[in-house]
């Protein structure tokens, strides 16, 4: 018996044993990781968006932040504040629902890059951790526990029924 067999077979019974990494993978699936990533990133950006608004209105203090501290190039501070507040509410909501997940994660990744480059360049470790979660979502999608997956299953069902399957 070689060393690989001894790892995958129980020494007492000789029965096949599931390796630890496979048991862990089953317990912590990509679906759970995707859900956790969606909620974590959504929470960060939604809370940031909440600091920029009162009711449905972007606050004067948020606009002043964009004017004095953030100083994002190209956009006037009023536009930047409104666009950031809108994005920080819309994309987190879509992430929690698991709807347009890749697009939402890509949009928030773009915001993160702007924040890193133009606003807080010394916060790279925080932004890198955010980026890792968003890159996972862009690469793997929302997982099975999402509206994206539900819509995909419905689309496949309609396609199968229209082809007489």
Q: What are phi and psi of 54, to 5 degrees?
A: -125, 115
Please, are residues 119 and 79 in contact by the beta-carbon 8 Å criterion?
no
pLDDT of residue 67: 96
pLDDT for 71-106, tens place per residue? 888 999 999 999 999 999 999 999 999 999 999 999
CA–CA separation, 26 and 22 (whole Å): 6
Q: What are phi and psi of 120, to 5 degrees?
A: -130, 75
Confidence of residue 23 (pLDDT cuts 50, 70, 90): confident
Mean pLDDT, all residues of the chain? 90
| Residue among 98, 94, 78 nearest 45 (CA) | 94
pLDDT for 128-152, tens place per residue? 999 999 999 999 999 989 999 999 9
CA–CA separation, 48 and 30 (whole Å): 27
In the structure encoding, which two tokens stand for residue 141, read together?
């999608």
pTM here?
Answer: 0.82
Q: DSSP string spanning 39-58? A: HHHHHHHHHHHHTTEETTEE
Domain ranges, ordered by start, for the chain: 30-141
């Amino acid at each position: 018996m070689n060393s690989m067999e001894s790892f995958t077979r129980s020494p007492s019974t000789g029965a096949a044993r599931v390796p630890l990494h496979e048991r862990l993978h089953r317990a912590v699936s990509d679906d759970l990781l995707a859900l956790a990533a969606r909620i974590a990133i959504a929470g960060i950006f939604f809370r940031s968006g909440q600091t920029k608004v009162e009711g449905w209105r972007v606050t004067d203090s948020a606009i002043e932040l964009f004017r004095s501290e953030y100083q994002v190039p190209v956009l006037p501070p009023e536009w930047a504040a409104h666009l950031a507040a809108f994005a920080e509410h819309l994309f987190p909501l879509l992430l929690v629902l698991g709807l347009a997940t890749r697009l939402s994660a890509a949009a928030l990744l773009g915001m993160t890059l702007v924040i890193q480059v133009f606003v807080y360049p010394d916060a790279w470790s925080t932004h890198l951790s955010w980026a890792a979660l968003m890159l996972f979502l862009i690469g793997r999608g929302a997982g099975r526990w999402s509206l994206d997956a539900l819509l995909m299953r419905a689309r496949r069902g309609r396609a199968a029924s229209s082809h007489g399957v």
